[in-house]
Structure 1
Amino acid sequence: MSKIFFVVAALLLSSCVAVNVSENKIEASPIKNKPKNIILLIGDGMGLSQVSASFFYGENSSNFEKFNTVGLIKTSASSDLITDSAASATAYATGEKTYNGAIAVNNDTISVETIVEKVSKQNIATGIISTSSIVHATPASFYAHVKQRRMYEDIAAFLPTSDIDFFAGGGSQFFNKRKDKKNLLEDLKLNGFEVSTTSLPTSTSSKKQAILLADDAMPKMLEGRGDFLPDATKLAIEQLSKNEDGFFLMVEGSQIDWGGHANDAEYLISEQLDFDKTIGVALDFAKRNGNTLVIVTADHETGGFTLAAEDDNYNSIKPSFSTGGHSATMVPVFSYGPSEEDFGGIYENTSLFNKMISLFEQ
């Protein structure tokens, strides 16, 4: 009698739940909606203590509190236990585990197609925003292919003929003050871009947008950058969402990392709060739109940043650092919107690409 009971129970269970085995885990696979749009926000150098800082130092509630689905990403490069931004961004952009310094190339320096290049073939609009130079490692890994991250002029040369519909950041010197004397700003215009070098446009355009507002990196928040990142994100969403086939937008809060490298808590926290505000812009759109997935993560942690008690006073926080470089700690990933449940758990950085691209597949 007991054997019959267990057989019947097993049959009933299998008829109710579809099971997938993925990365050594068994999980339910309910039928779910795919998002039309994906907004990927990368806090460069942002570990869990950096995220926590937005809870303790912000004037308003942190936008991280709005997420229900949270996971962890393993960040090592193929060449090193501790990744740099180039190898990590390449993993996110291409699904390829590669060496530190690589920009969308594999271990043999062969180009690997990026998510921007892949989804553009489906008429999905794309955008890139950064508070660093637009040719810096993280943004570059989504559109360029070079063997070394500091080949800035070579990286810039990819943008005029790229599939990107909107980009904003710094780095104008790599377009119009080049060693080869080329003026890539004119090439951008010839390839259908409206070029802005003095201020962020206040409205959307029928043309593709190339926005370069600094010679190299954008100013620090402490130097008066203001709302560039949230405003550029809002403008990009307004423009890209006009596309009926959807969009992919990558937004980088670059200088969280630089505050970590400098072991400068005030610099780091001010950049973290700016990034938090930008997350709010993306979440507000996603809630209104209903068909947008927002993913927030980091490429790695920088500085070994901690929010330690000041001496024996457990009501006073003293931010501290253990290194001027990167650390090997896993980084958090937060998701909101259709298919957000796919992004919980613990997985390799390359899996983020695989999860995103599967949602765009038709």
Structure 2
Amino acid sequence: MHENNNMKKQFKILLYILFSTLIISCFAFASFGQEEYKDLKNKDLKELYPGGLFYEVEHYSQSKKSKQLKNIILMIGDGMGLAQVYSAMTANGGHLYLENFRNIGFSRTYSSDNYITDSAAGGTALATGVKTYNGAIGVDPDKKPVINIRELAEYKGLKTGIISTSSITHATPASFIAHVDSRGSYEDIALDFLKTNIDVFIGGGIKNFEERRDRRNLSQELKDKSYQVLYTIEDIQKVKSGKLAGLTAQEHNKPMPERGEMLVPATQIAINILSQSKKGFFLMVEGSEIDFFGHRNSLPGVILETLDFDRAVGVALKFAAYNRETLVIVTADHETGGMSINNGNYKTGEVSAIFTNGSHTGITVPIFAFGPGADLFTGFMENIDIAKKMMILLKVEKQNFSIKY
């Protein structure tokens, strides 16, 4: 009888989460452009997460006899500060995959022109090791292109990949691909994918590839370059090798729980494909919509997106723990919403929180590292130091390469 009551309670909680998130998504994702999630007039006033179903967290130990670094998986929880992490930990009964990390630091996120960074400048800092102005994608304050870690890895002969729950042309993933003056140049960003030799990319953004003002069909051009262009996660999961372009939504992917299993299997398939390289790989995985719900001051949305991101972190950790040649770095480009936790309950997963604003904040964000070189990512550092340290670990030197744009 007690077990049946628990099941009924969990079912009711799940229905609540589904209903509240569905209402949010109807406003936020149905027909708006790539930046409309920032509109607070669609704010969800509920600041209580009632708890939900817990997932089991596996524990992995970082080997003291790690092999030489061969692969880097950089995971960015967009808008994910410590409050977002701890709210998700509470919501999952007190445990996350992030608990596996023993090397922890903090990143100062300000941009070259503002104490409060945006995702473009924040993403560019993490990708290139250069501070730039808000709105810039892969260019310095003088609007000159700067090379990024993914390009350096590609030039060295490593396989590379990018995954995002947002449009793949949105600010953070774009920072690892493109070089444009403004983050809003989505069609130009999509075109820059054709200038790379990236092996795997999965995210939304069909519109910027196929419904363009210049009438080019970039998806067809990708196929002409031997990419498998697929539109559902079910089809993407069938791919075993080769180049893969997964375009899973017209713009951004739907929020959790409507999105369903997308980020976790996308991370797994990318690792499966990229790890076939004898030279190694670089993979960036973004949990984009933690930020989206931070802008909207929606606690249920923030928690569900952070939990989804954490389970993707678990996929990377499992690979790294057994591979022993892989460094996993988890961080954020900035915090969103000025979130503060009022109360919580480990047993039920209930969390209560408030937000101080509907934008980004200047607070430092956490850095978690696991694997060879993880000890370099402890203490306070600039966000640009993360990129610089990754470049050192991959043994690539920026001056050896030039960007042809």
Task: Give the TM-score normalised by the residue count of structure 2.
Answer: 0.78
Q: Where does residue 266 of structure 1 map in the other structure?
A: 300
Q: Where does residue 7 of structure 1 map in the other structure?
A: none
Q: Does 1:237 align with 2:271?
A: yes
Q: Report the alpha carbon displacement of residue 160 of structure 1 after superposing the two structures with TM.
A: 2.1
Q: Where does residue 125 of structure 2 map in the other structure?
A: 91
Aligned residues: 327
Q: Where does residue 5 of structure 1 map in the other structure?
A: none
Aligned match for 2:333, one of 281, 290, 299? 299
Q: Does 1:69 align with 2:126?
A: no
Q: Report the alpha carbon displacement of residue 213 of structure 1 after superposing the two structures with TM.
A: 0.9
Is the Cα–Cα contact under 8 Å of residues 130 and 384 in structure 2 kept in the other structure? Answer: yes
Is the Cα–Cα contact under 8 Å of residues 32 and 339 in structure 1 kept in the other structure? Answer: no
Give the share of equivalent positions with the same residue, in percent.
46
Q: Where does residue 337 of structure 1 map in the other structure?
A: 371
Q: How does 1:201-280 map to 2 (within 5 A)?
A: 201-222=236-257, 224-280=258-314
SS at match of 2:233: coil
* Structure 2 CA distance for aligned equivalents of residues 123 and 47 of structure 1: 34
Q: Does 1:152 align with 2:186?
A: yes
- Code of the residue aligned with 1:334 in structure 2: it is F
- Code of the residue aligned with 2:333 in structure 1: it is D
Alignment CA distance shift 1:209-1:32 (3 Å): closer
Q: Where does residue 148 of structure 2 map in the other structure?
A: 114
- Code of the residue aligned with 2:86 in structure 1: it is S
* Structure 2 CA distance for aligned equivalents of residues 52 and 308 of structure 1: 12
Map Cα deviations across residues 196-239 of structure 1 (whole Å, 9 max, x no partner).
Answer: 023342233432100001000001013x2112001000000000
Aligned match for 2:317, one of 251, 274, 283? 283
Q: Report the alpha carbon displacement of residue 306 of structure 1 after superposing the two structures with TM.
A: 1.0
Q: Report the alpha carbon displacement of residue 336 of structure 1 after superposing the two structures with TM.
A: 0.4
Give the CA RMSD over aligned residues.
1.7
Q: Report the alpha carbon displacement of residue 32 of structure 1 after superposing the two structures with TM.
A: 8.6
- Code of the residue aligned with 2:232 in structure 1: it is T
Q: Does 1:124 align with 2:158?
A: yes
Map Cα deviations across residues 161-197 of structure 1 (whole Å, 9 max, x no partner).
Answer: 3121100000001011111111000111111211002
Aligned match for 1:50, one of 66, 84, 95? 84
Is the Cα–Cα contact under 8 Å of residues 298 and 331 in structure 1 kept in the other structure? Answer: yes
Gaps of 5+ in 1: 1-30
- Code of the residue aligned with 2:331 in structure 1: it is T
- Code of the residue aligned with 2:71 in structure 1: it is N
* Structure 2 CA distance for aligned equivalents of residues 278 and 317 of structure 1: 22
Gaps of 5+ in 2: 1-64, 397-405
**Segment drifting more, 62-71 vs 194-203:** 194-203
Q: Where does residue 135 of structure 1 map in the other structure?
A: 169
SS at match of 1:155: helix
Map Cα deviations across residues 338-359 of structure 1 (whole Å, 9 max, x no partner).
Answer: 1100011111011001100101
SS at match of 1:158: helix
* Structure 1 CA distance for aligned equivalents of residues 256 and 140 of structure 2: 35
Q: Report the alpha carbon displacement of residue 319 of structure 1 after superposing the two structures with TM.
A: 1.1
CA radius of gyration, larger in: 1
Q: Where does residue 170 of structure 1 map in the other structure?
A: 204
Aligned match for 1:180, one of 193, 214, 218? 214
SS at match of 1:273: helix
